[in-house]
Amino acid sequence: MNPSLEIAVTNRVLNRIQSRYWKDYDNFSSKLSCHIIKSDPRSKNELIASIKSFESPFYSLNEINTDILVGILPLDDVLDLLSKYREVGPLTFSDVFEETSLVTVEEGKKSVAGLATLPEEKIQETLVDSLREKNATNCRSRGKDTVLEVADLEHFLVQVKGTPTTFSCVAKGSKSLGGTINWEKIAHQVTKAYNRTHPQHVLVVLARNLADSVTSELVEYSKSVGNENLVVVCDPVELARFLKARKIIT
């Protein structure tokens, strides 16, 4: 259990208890907070159910019931804390764009050649179309690159495995980078995509292969910002699978 999260939730609960001049018998605020964190509720109804499932003499000693406590707790604030501190697990491109799995790896390999002449804008447009179908936030068509843009697809939220997850995306076509991609070619785009809005993941979608050392560089950067699973890479084979599933290439 994350100590910072435990302290933060306990403070919220304890502050409301003390504001009503109730006694925090048997460290009720701390024990309830631990119970909530272990339950890991994802909605207000789940949070309320977690609170009501926790039994304690606190209620009878203060002559209140669970409904009264639920009514004064900052439920939205607690949910925000749980979301903020929830451990971000590893994801793959196919987890986000599930249609990719409709095309086999072997079929993807055979279609990689189709990436060579595909405009970068078409890749970005196809990603946006897919996100629209998934009811993602902030979906908009891409214009020309400008110095003001933060990422190719700026901060958006989409459900992944039933969990709302935030992303920024760097998507580069075969012609825009040229040759094998090293860290220097994409570092400023990856760091800029993360630094402005701090999404849970940065998607790096590439129509050319990464140099051998880049994966290690991406992991090192991810660790440096406290999220080892920050960067999700889509290599040319995965991209070809996605685009073939979307009927963009054959």
Instruction: Dump pLDDT digits (tens) for 194-224.
Output: 998 899 999 999 999 888 888 899 999 999 9
Give this prediction's pTM.
Answer: 0.66
Query: Which amino acid is located at 148 in the chain?
Result: L
Number of DSSP helices (H) and strands (E) in the chain, helices first: 13, 4
> Per mean pLDDT, which of 38-42, 136-140, 245-249 is the most reliable?
245-249
- Out of 45, 61, 85, a domain closes at 85
Reported confidence tier of residue 162, pLDDT bands at 50, 70, 90? confident
Based on the fold, state whether residues 153 and 187 are members of the same structural domain: yes
Based on the fold, state whether residues 105 and 227 are members of the same structural domain: yes
Q: Within a domain: residue 210?
A: yes
Based on the fold, state whether residues 122 and 35 are members of the same structural domain: no
Note the pLDDT of residue 23: 96
d(C-alpha 129, C-alpha 148), whole Å:
23
Based on the fold, state whether residues 117 and 214 are members of the same structural domain: yes
Q: Within a domain: residue 250?
A: no
Note the pLDDT of residue 14: 96
Reported confidence tier of residue 163, pLDDT bands at 50, 70, 90? confident
Instruction: Give tens-digit pLDDT for 74-129.
Output: 999 999 888 877 766 789 999 999 999 999 999 999 999 999 999 999 999 999 99
* Phi, psi dihedral angles at 122 (to 5 degrees): -70, -40
Determine the average pLDDT of the residues in 10-15.
95
Based on the fold, state whether residues 119 and 158 are members of the same structural domain: yes
Q: What is the bridge-based pairing of β-strands 163-172 and 201-206?
A: parallel
Range of the domain at 239: 93-245
Residue 164 DSSP code: E
pLDDT of residue 144 exceeding 60: no
Alpha helices in 28-143 (DSSP H): 28-39, 44-52, 58-62, 66-72, 75-85, 93-96, 105-111, 120-133
Task: State the residue for tokens 């685009």.
Answer: 243
Based on the fold, state whether residues 30 and 142 are members of the same structural domain: no
The total number of structural domains in the chain stands at: 2
Based on the fold, state whether residues 102 and 204 are members of the same structural domain: yes
**Residues 158/167, Cβ–Cβ less than 8 Å:** yes
- Out of 85, 112, 147, a domain closes at 85
List Cβ neighbours of 17 (8 Å cut-off, separation of 6 or more). 24, 28, 29
Q: Which residues pair with 164 in a beta bridge?
A: 159
**Residues 151/188, Cβ–Cβ less than 8 Å:** no
Based on the fold, state whether residues 135 and 238 are members of the same structural domain: yes
**Residues 205/127, Cβ–Cβ less than 8 Å:** yes
